[in-house]
Amino acid sequence: MKIFVSIASYQDPILKYTIKSITENAKYKNDLVVGVFDQAEETLTDLPSNVRYKTCHPKEAKGCCWARSTIQKELFEGEDIFMQIDSHTLFAEDWDKNLLQKYEDCKNWFEKPLITGYPRGFDVIVKGSGFFNSDEEYIFKKADRNTNTHIMTIHLPFDNGYHSGQIAKAMNDNKYYRGFGLSAGLIFTEGNFVKEVPYDPRIYFGGEETTLAVRAYTHGYELVHVPDTPLWHWYNSDNQELKRELHWTMHEQDENLKKAKDDYIASAKIVVDNVLQGKDTLYGLGDKRTLKDFAGLSGLDYTNKSVQMDKCLFKEYEEAGFTLDDDFE
């Protein structure tokens, strides 16, 4: 099966290492295609032949959803599997074999599974920091790999209009979990997802994962959290030596760019609210399931902007895991 991996990057200092990690650690290298939209002042060269590479200047960038939409429209060519990651991700050996097997496992229960979740983290250590000697520009210190499943749950319900914040939670087991949260830093599903649930370029950042989760669910996709995801993500923090430049921070430095960004964010918030209320017709909900169905699964009632704590899935996760031996409906 051909796997297409979407990578949107904004001035990312370790993009080349992400590309190196994903291509060199793949088991089925001939079945891998990587689509990169690099929004950077300095572009990459000498890339592997299976990398489709598009660039633009950072000042032309319009946010991660616009970039991811561009990849789907211009670089995706109908591959069997669509995968999306962030541009600061490292991979375990044979990661593709691992995820393909988990995807087939999920198809025992669901017609259209979508594997997702927040990956484990890693730290970037800059050469010369005194941590240890190396000829490499950076050293990557990965979190311990284990089989624990990390599910996604709600952190701040309706903290910004209809948008809700999300966090990861370790379940201390190796079960599969049906979910209602989606991570844009790990999507692994059928290629038809690009046609059925295309990325909405009107959304800036806030609401990206929330709207995509609801849209995917109402189009018949089942969000699944799996054990031992074979990748790591670099999360920004204040105490790191090396920091990733962020689009919204960089565009604060130019008055014209700041105004354009602020206008875009204001418009995007309206889009997010409309999608989550079922009012958007351009990148809206599917017809396989309803917002009421999603509320019954998750406890998040977007119609009434309330949390139904009595039947909220994230309150019952400890009893919701399943294994290959279980009959699941």
DSSP 186-242: EEEEETTHHHHS---TT--STTHHHHHHHHHHHTT-EEEE-BS-SEEE----TT-SS
Please indicate, yes or no, if residue 57 is contained in any of the structural domains: yes
Strands 231-233 and 120-126: parallel
Give the model's pLDDT for residue 329.
Answer: 45
CA angle at 201 for the pair 197 and 203, rounded to the nearest 5°:
100
Domains held by the chain: number: 1
Please indicate, yes or no, if residue 328 is contained in any of the structural domains: no
Give the model's pLDDT for residue 125.
Answer: 79
Length of the chain: 329
Please indicate, yes or no, if residue 325 is contained in any of the structural domains: no
Buried b (16+ CB within 10 A) or exposed e, 38-66: bbbeeeeeebeeebbbbeeebeebbbbbb
Please indicate, yes or no, if residue 150 is contained in any of the structural domains: yes
Report mean pLDDT in 10-residue bins for the chain, 329 residues.
Answer: 96 93 97 97 94 94 92 98 97 97 94 94 72 62 77 74 74 86 96 96 82 95 94 79 62 59 65 81 92 88 78 52 50
Please indicate, yes or no, if residue 227 is contained in any of the structural domains: yes
163, 207 in Cβ contact below 8 A? yes
Give the model's pLDDT for residue 328.
Answer: 43
Q: 138 — alpha (psi -120 to 50), left (phi > 0) or beta?
A: beta
Residue holding tokens 């902007």?
A: 305
Helices 208-218 & 255-276, crossing angle to 10 degrees? 30
Residue 188's CATH number: 3.90.550.10
Please indicate, yes or no, if residue 327 is contained in any of the structural domains: no
Please indicate, yes or no, if residue 326 is contained in any of the structural domains: no
Please indicate, yes or no, if residue 177 is contained in any of the structural domains: yes
Structural domain boundaries, residue 86? 3-319
pLDDT digits (tens, 9 = 90+) for 69-80: 999 999 999 999
For the record, the structure tokens of 73 come out as 């429209």
